[in-house]
Amino acid sequence: MNLAQVIFYILTAITIGSAAFVVLSQHLVRSVFMLFVTLFAVAGLYVFALADFVALTQIVIYVGGVLVLLLFAFLLSSKESLEGMEKIPSGLLSAHRLPGALISVLFLAVLGFIFFQIDFENLNWIKASVANGNVISVSDNTIRNIGINLMSKYLLPLEIVSILLMMVLIGAAHIARKEPKAS
Amino acid sequence: MIPLQHFLFISAILFCLGLFAVITRKNAIQILMGIELMINASILNLVAFSRFDKVDNTGQMFALFIIVLAAAAVAVALVIIMNLYKRVKSIDPNQSDTLRG
């Protein structure tokens, strides 16, 4: 086992452990801060999947934008939102959580069973891309290719996403403003 | 090289943790965090398969679009949660039942 695999499995352990903490913690602020750790570790996993640009985007947008927004919203809503949570009995298998735990474990079993069944190395399109040399290797520079593709093949989705972002900006500002004193 | 299946198992575990949070949590912000975990799991799947698509980069491109859409969705959802808090004085989704038929 070489160094890259060791780092990969350490990142995996950090990801799953902190995600479990996010899900199971009773304390909202702690789980928001553990979500930071989860998102950073998932960005590390993206790097191991040879997608550096997606990892950078994840750090910039998720960690820089989404989590700061979440913290902001949490700190704006007051302590009362936490008080209702104290009454929930903790523990993974209390009566409130047993159906949810059962559903997610069963879903995990289904997904794991499917992933065991499929032989990914022998799928047709993966075999074809390996035969054509269409596989990203570690030393490739993918960001240049992403830029070229974004400006040629995926130009229409890019423009639609930009329009959607503007609509979201206007819509969020409109919903969040104080309602005028109507009669 | 790390085999493809390991990425898929990690993303399956992340997805199920997010599903658990969405089902059991009583707090709208924590439900939103569960949804974020599920979105991250699906992005991990796309990125892992995108290794076999060097020319078109379809997986990475859609991962970028998903990240942008998730950020937009979180912005709108937080605004809605703040408004709900102003109106119902609680961010428990079970308590806002004015639309129940």
The residue written with tokens 């799947």 in the block is B45
Q: How far apart are CA B26 and CA B30, in angstroms?
A: 8
Q: Is residue A58 part of a domain?
A: yes
CA distances from A142 to A138, A148, A152, A155, B36 (A): 10, 10, 15, 18, 26
Closest residue to B74, CB basis, from A69, A77, A133? A69
Picking from A47, A61, A63, A104 by the largest number of B CB atoms within 10 A of its own CB, the best residue to mutate is: A104
Q: Is residue A125 part of a domain?
A: no
Q: Is the CB of B24 less than 8 angstroms away from the CB of A96?
A: yes
Q: Is residue A32 part of a domain?
A: yes
Whole-number average pLDDT of chain A: 85
Q: Is residue A65 part of a domain?
A: yes
Query: CATH top-level class for B4-87?
Result: mainly alpha
pLDDT at A65: 86
Q: How many domains does chain A have?
A: 1
Q: Is residue A24 part of a domain?
A: yes
Q: What is the ipTM of this complex?
A: 0.90
Q: How far apart are CA B61 and CA B58, in angstroms?
A: 5
Picking from A29, A45, A113 by the largest number of B CB atoms within 10 A of its own CB, the best residue to mutate is: A45
Domain positions in chain B: 4-87
Which positions 116-135 of A are in contact with B (Cβ < 8 Å)?
120-121, 125-126, 129-130, 133-135
Instruction: Kindly tell me the burial class for residue A156, based on how many C-beta atoms sit within 10 Å of its own C-beta (0-12, 13-18, 19 or more).
Output: exposed
Containing structural domain, residue A42: 1-87
pLDDT at A79: 61
Between A152 and A70, name the one with better pLDDT. A152
Q: Is residue A169 part of a domain?
A: no
Q: Is residue A70 part of a domain?
A: yes
Q: What is the pLDDT of residues B43-100, one digit of tens each?
A: 999 999 998 888 888 899 999 999 999 999 998 988 888 888 878 777 777 777 777 7
Q: Give the residue-averaged pLDDT of A150-167.
A: 93
The amino acid that residue A123 corresponds to is L
Q: What is the pLDDT of residues A112-147, one digit of tens each?
A: 999 989 888 888 888 888 888 888 888 888 889 999
The first and second tokens of residue A54, run together, are 């997606």
